[in-house]
Structure 1
Amino acid sequence: MDFEFSQEQLDFLAEVERFLDENDDPEVFDVTRENMAQIVDTPKRRAFMKKLGQKGWLGMTWPKEYGGSEGEGVYEYLLNEALAARGGPQIGKGVGIIGKTLIAHGSDFLKQKFLPMILENDVEFAVGYSEPNAGSDAASMKLKAVRHEQDGKTGWLLNGQKTWTTSAHFAEWYWLGTRTDPDDKHHGITLMLVPLNHPNIEIRPIWTMGDERTNEVFINDVFVPDEYVVGEVNKGFQYISQALDLERFTMFTFSPIKQRLDLLTDYVRTETRDGKPLKDDPVIRARIARLHTDAEVARVMGLKVVAESVKGEKQTKATGKPTPPPTVESSEYKLYATEFSKRLANAAMDIAAPGSQLRVHTEEAPMKGRSESTYRYTVIDTIGGGASEIQKNIIARRGLGLPKNF
């Protein structure tokens, strides 16, 4: 497998870096927000992403008939990694989860309504899968949807609760998993698009250990017309599963991990303890060497997902038939990268000693307090997009062919 980028791809990356230099703004880019830096939650961040849309960089892999340029997925990868390296918002769920699912399964009405807005970054989505009793096991969701008629329209009446909906307090539309058949766990879920300003939707904040806001959402007698149902009724879990393969890779970029590793390495290179350079301590040297080795493994695993995605794109173009995303490779990368990110955070706390517990942005703290914030944030990363235990099950069943109860 060739992990080298072509000259054309390197030229694109250079263009992206120039664009980021020209639009550098501390209110848009903040590496200390770690993985949560990717969300587009302020007016300045939205304006920045709109500039990306004007450059034609949103939806690059989409078909031309929907406003894309049918580019290879490697270009989205290069763009997202460059954005993530600076702590900037990323192309995320609108282009990936929602946009690509609508292209594959959405009605003409939904495509015409939402795809142009996504390409221009004129809309933000929240994703509603998790519930109090349905976290990583999305098939256990219970938010009830029953057939209903209102104001001469047929549709669905929704009642229930979602939780851990990170973008609900600033997004306009809810990408919502609903239970339309209570008797079939995996074939009784339907995806719908619901406006978040609906008067019967209540949003309450939940603050995470990473100082970021997520939300619980209460839905009471919310009517959704049939035209806002995504794809076929009761096929939602299958659509969600496909989209989660994209989320597991695009949500957890490698460049922020590498940036934190470089920060720790520079600290070890220049700091002393008891009058002796840290870099001369054989235990610390061994630990840093192992971290760099593991980082290279994570980087190459990410490139493997890109390579498999590009291979699938070429196969789709050649045969005209959709090719499934690289499920196993995505889970392998997500599991390894996020667990490695935790190990890196632990190492930074150990090496920086008691001073590592000072809060982020404390000037006199080792690495300005970055260690303690990453220690808190990285726990969240092993849960979002499917917890590590879920990734292990996917790898075991789909990759190794093991039975469900082994």
Structure 2
Amino acid sequence: MDFDFDADQQAFIGEVRAFLDEVRQWPDAADIMCPERESDSILADTPARKAFNRELARRGYLGLSWPREYGGQGRPGIYEYLLNEELSRVGAPLIGKGVGCVGQTLIRHGSDGLKREFLPRILKAEIEFALGYTEPHAGSDLAALRLRADRAENGWLLNGQKMFTTSAHFADWYWLAARTDFDAPKHKGISLFLLPMDQPGITIHPIETMGEHVTNQVFIDNVFVSDDYVVGEVNKGWTYICEALDYERFTFYTFSPLEEKLKALRALLCTEGGDGAAIAARPHVRRHLARLTADVELSKMLQRRVIYASSQGRVPTVEAAMCKLYSTGLHQRLADFALDSLGTDGLLHKADAQAPAAGKWEWSYRATALDTIGAGSSEIQKNIIARRELGLPLRF
């Protein structure tokens, strides 16, 4: 297994970093690059961040792995991972759901009409999507979703509720999973739809989590969707969702935020201290910091295993589960250690002028708990590892 990037990939990394150096000179660079932002840093949720994504598009960074016939560059998927790695390092928005799960699924399964309507706009960063998967009774068990899609003339009538829909409060289109056959096995009766977020019958209620991540509760009341906006075949939505999640595992879980957090914490502990000496000079702090440094390197190796498996044409289901389980837990342990080391000052909120590191670590303590839930909880990742890697039975 080769953990290093080749010369072309290294050159691409250098090219992206040079571009980001240019962005640092923009008047609104502070809004675009927010490495201290603990929540929603991957989203294009402000005008400046949307403009940044349009510049990414103009320079050809969107659709790197798309086939050339659809406006892409036909590059291996690792280039999109490398791009997201550099974007996440500086807290800039990632290339997004449109290029990833939406665009890739439309390329493989969408009708010619959907491809013509959406793919060019995705490549120009003109539209934002929200993913309507989770429901009050269908979180980790997504196949248990109940939102109804009943047949109507030339389309479908949708009714139900979605929970924890990130981006719904600023997205343009809803990528929505609904049940179209209640008599089929639960994995077989799901279909995917596209509908505009401003369509009558869609009501959005924002929810702010303890980590200041804005998510949403969405109510769907008698919303009509034309047959033209069904993605792929009816009742095959579960297959499309799983394919999209496999793609997201390859590009979404970046390592660089962990590395940057460790650097920031180490620098802080080397300067802070109320007794005239740096906190990092204390023996127990030095030992713990050394342990965390080794753990961050281990997280990097787990991420490289995901990349390697994907580059070999395998779906990195187990590798991605291991990486997510370990890295999200490590984010929490870094925050725990920071607060323990900083003492009572570490509990100060970022709104307090006296807070160390502008309150980053208190915010991190609140925000990182959510990372172990989103995109598949830690318990789900453990089940994947237990069943698919260790061969353990589903029930004992």
In structure 2, how many angstroms separate the alpha carbons of the residues matched to 1:137 and 1:369? 36
In structure 2, how many angstroms separate the alpha carbons of the residues matched to 1:338 and 1:390? 13
| Deviation per residue, 1:47-98 (Å, 9 max, x gap) | 1101111111111011111111111222111111111111110012111111
Inter-CA distance 111–195: structure 2 relative to 1 (3 Å threshold)? same
Map 1:77-88; keep pairs closer than 5 Å.
77-88=81-92
Q: Structure 1: give runs of 5+ residues left out of the alignment.
A: 313-323
Q: Is the 8 A contact 2:348 2:362 kept in 1?
A: yes
1:191 Cα offset (Å) = 0.8
In structure 1, how many angstroms separate the alpha carbons of the residues matched to 2:104 and 2:321? 19
In structure 1, how many angstroms separate the alpha carbons of the residues matched to 2:240 and 2:136? 21
2:268 match: secondary structure: helix
The aligned residue for residue 94 of structure 1 is 98
| Equivalent in 353, 362, 365 of residue 375 of structure 1 | 365
Map 1:23-62; keep pairs closer than 5 Å.
23-24=23-24, 25-62=29-66
Map 1:134-153; keep pairs closer than 5 Å.
134-149=138-153
The aligned residue for residue 18 of structure 2 is 18
1:292 Cα offset (Å) = 0.8
Moved over 4 A (4+): none
Letter paired with 2:300:
R
The aligned residue for residue 333 of structure 1 is 323
Question: Do structure 1's residue 158 and structure 2's residue 162 form an aligned pair?
Answer: no
2:84 match: secondary structure: helix
In structure 2, how many angstroms separate the alpha carbons of the residues matched to 1:272 and 1:169? 42
In structure 2, how many angstroms separate the alpha carbons of the residues matched to 1:343 and 1:250? 24
Further displaced range: 247-256 or 263-272: 247-256
In structure 2, how many angstroms separate the alpha carbons of the residues matched to 1:35 and 1:7? 34
1:401 Cα offset (Å) = 2.5
| Deviation per residue, 1:134-183 (Å, 9 max, x gap) | 1111111100011111xxxx111100000111111111100001011113
In structure 1, how many angstroms separate the alpha carbons of the residues matched to 2:301 and 2:40? 23
In structure 2, how many angstroms separate the alpha carbons of the residues matched to 1:387 and 1:372? 22
Map 1:141-290; keep pairs closer than 5 Å.
141-149=145-153, 154-183=154-183, 184-290=185-291
The aligned residue for residue 321 of structure 1 is none
In structure 2, how many angstroms separate the alpha carbons of the residues matched to 1:123 and 1:85? 24
In structure 2, how many angstroms separate the alpha carbons of the residues matched to 1:99 and 1:41? 19
Q: Structure 2: give runs of 5+ residues left out of the alignment.
A: none
In structure 2, how many angstroms separate the alpha carbons of the residues matched to 1:50 and 1:275? 49
Letter paired with 1:265:
R
1:398 Cα offset (Å) = 2.1
Further displaced range: 55-64 or 357-366: 357-366
Letter paired with 1:202:
T
Root mean square deviation, CA, Å: 1.5
Q: Is the 8 A contact 2:250 2:307 kept in 1?
A: no
Letter paired with 2:114:
L
In structure 2, how many angstroms separate the alpha carbons of the residues matched to 1:84 and 1:287? 26
| Equivalent in 318, 334, 339 of residue 349 of structure 1 | 339
Q: Is the 8 A contact 1:200 1:220 kept in 2?
A: yes
1:249 Cα offset (Å) = 4.8
2:341 match: secondary structure: helix
**TM-score, with normalisation over the residues of structure 2?**
0.95
| Deviation per residue, 1:11-55 (Å, 9 max, x gap) | 111111111111120111112322511111111111110111111
